[in-house]
Amino acid sequence: MTARSDAGDPTAATPQLPVPRFTRVFRLVATLGEPLDVGGTPSGRRRVVALTDGSFEGPELSGRLVPGASADWQLVLEDGTAVADLRYTLETATGALLYVQGQGVRHGSTEVLARLARGEDVDASDYTFRVSVRIETGDPELDWLNKGVFVCVGGRQPGKVIYETYLVE
């Protein structure tokens, strides 16, 4: 009996897997409220930042952010990195409600993060802001959202946040 040359090689005889594609779903531009600073905790500085107003637009969906049902429960680490725990509610132009929940991170150089913390306008290409997202809805016509895997590229502007949301296919 001869030993196979690919023994122990986990890629041997593994089928080719598809390369993911990204399809733009919508862009949300939201106004931020004043942060509620919980203070230093064992995990980092905890803040709650309300999303107070906004709208979203995409090829198949558009509508508004529902105020009072949207915020980022944020953890800011010592180096200025922000860990996002997003929960926001959107209402489509047809009246459907979307519950959006995401986990993400915003990081960059010390200088760039300090500028963002001061509320300055910093080009989004100067830092990384990425979020993985789940979307839920009871609207049967939008059921595809319940089954999707989504990622967002984020950006901060003075008093605003922008999330460009993509379906991973």
CATH tag for 22-168 (out of 3.40.50.1360, 2.40.160.20, 3.40.50.300, 3.30.70.260): 2.40.160.20
Query: What is the model's pLDDT at position 57?
Result: 98
* pLDDT over 70 percentage in the chain: 93
Q: How confident is residue 4, by pLDDT bands cut at 50, 70 and 90?
A: low
> Residue 22 above 60 pLDDT?
yes
Contact 142, 96 (CB under 8 A): yes
> What ranges do the domains of the chain cover?
22-168
* Backbone dihedral angles phi then psi of residue 134, each to the nearest 5 degrees: -115, 140
Tokens linked to 165: 């949301």
Q: pTM for the complete prediction?
A: 0.87
Cβ atoms within 10 Å, residue 37: 13
Average pLDDT over residues 8-30: 87
pLDDT in tens, 45-63: 999 999 999 999 999 999 9
CA-based nearest residue to 84, from 122, 127, 46, 137:
46
Tokens linked to 36: 């509620």
Query: What is the model's pLDDT at position 6?
Result: 56
Contact 58, 24 (CB under 8 A): yes
